[in-house]
Amino acid sequence: MEMWLKEMQIEGAAMTYKVKETLVRKKTQYQDLAIVDTDVFGRMLVLDGIVQTTIKDEFVYHEMITHIPLFTHPNPKKVLVVGGGDGGAIREILKHPSVEKAVLCEIDGDVIEECKKYLPEISCALDDPRCEIFVGDGIQYVKEHKNEFDVIIVDSTDPFSIAEGLFGGNFYKDIYNALTEDGIFVAQTETPFYLPETVKKVFNDARNIFPVTKLFMAAIPTYPGGYWSFTIGSKKYDPTQVDTTKIPELDTKYYTPEIHKACFVLPKYIQELVK
């Protein structure tokens, strides 16, 4: 008998994946967690029925949410990831030699533990001595750490349920205060095709707080619409003005110096959302 995972994140549309095996399925304190092995995308983390990451295409998301801010900041030493319990953002952050400490703040410890077991390619850097793991509320953590981080990355699930508070003005104000005087933040900010009003709202919330705010895009096959937005807010540095000739070569599969520039060139319908 064939098994199919049907993701109903967007009302009126669905994405389906043929499942070879369910590796783990459990109710955590916060959400329904599953890791399944699929025909096309390999092992896949699914939270509350929504695909979070897969072995085959995770590199796009994790490289773009990290290397854009880290190469915009001239000397990032201390980085915070809110969410991101799979560990992919930490893996990419620790490719930067200037980083002395990367803190992972994940509310659901089961996500971390199960990803270590079943997604080791993604979670492989969580045992690095430069990585500090804090299991708890990211909103509260940010409030309690002022003027501490050079870069803050909000690697959250979608803006429903436990992640809803990670999208919006109050949280972004606390992020601003948790950053150093030249700090940078970036967040995944959803699909402009299916959720344009969400993209518009979170971008405007960030723009009301940060002197420099930009939207950039990446093509991620397993995310609804296949074309995903990220919002970057900076106290000082403009990510579109980075001298890409000085970006050192990293072991990446998607991010390049050319992509760093190109990802900020937006189609007209997305320009209209954020103008």
DSSP string, 23-50: EEEEE-SSSEEEEEEETTTEEEEEETTE
Judged by average pLDDT, the poorest of 84-88, 111-115, 188-192 is 188-192
* Domains defined along the chain, listed by start: 3-54 (2.30.140.10), 58-274 (3.40.50.150)
Is 155 known to be catalytic? yes
Residue 62 in marked binding region: yes
Q: What percent of the chain has pLDDT over 90?
A: 90
Residue 86 in marked binding region: yes
Give me the residue label for tokens 């002197």: 211
pLDDT interval class at 48 (50, 70, 90)? very high
Amino acid 269: pLDDT = 96
Q: Average pLDDT of 120-149?
A: 97
Tell me the pLDDT tens digit for each residue of 67-79: 999 999 999 999 9
pLDDT interval class at 124 (50, 70, 90)? very high
Residue 156 in marked binding region: yes
pLDDT interval class at 58 (50, 70, 90)? very high
pLDDT interval class at 217 (50, 70, 90)? very high
Q: Report angle CA 65, 71, 87 to the nearest 5 degrees.
A: 35
pLDDT interval class at 183 (50, 70, 90)? very high
* 160: pLDDT strictly greater than 60: no
Residue 174 in marked binding region: no
Q: Average pLDDT of 169-187?
A: 94
Amino acid 162: pLDDT = 42
pLDDT interval class at 159 (50, 70, 90)? low
* 163: pLDDT strictly greater than 70: no
Judged by average pLDDT, the poorest of 80-94, 115-129, 189-203 is 189-203
For residue 204, which phi and psi values (nearest 5 degrees)? Answer: -65, -35
Residue 31 in marked binding region: yes
184 contacts 233 by C-beta, under 8 angstroms: yes
Of 105, 110, 102, residue with least CA distance to 127: 102
Of 227, 169, 179, 226, residue with least CA distance to 203: 169
Task: Count Cβ neighbours within 10 Å for each residue of 155-189 and write b for 16 or more, e otherwise.
Answer: bbbbbeebbeebbeeebbebbbebbbeebbbbbbb
Q: Which of 150, 155, 174, 205 is catalytic?
A: 155
Structure tokens given for 129 = 């001595």
Q: Average pLDDT of 86-99?
A: 98
Beta strands in the chain (DSSP E): 3-7, 15-27, 32-38, 42-47, 50-54, 78-83, 101-106, 131-135, 149-155, 179-188, 212-219, 227-234
Q: What's this model's pTM, rounded to 2 decimal places?
A: 0.95
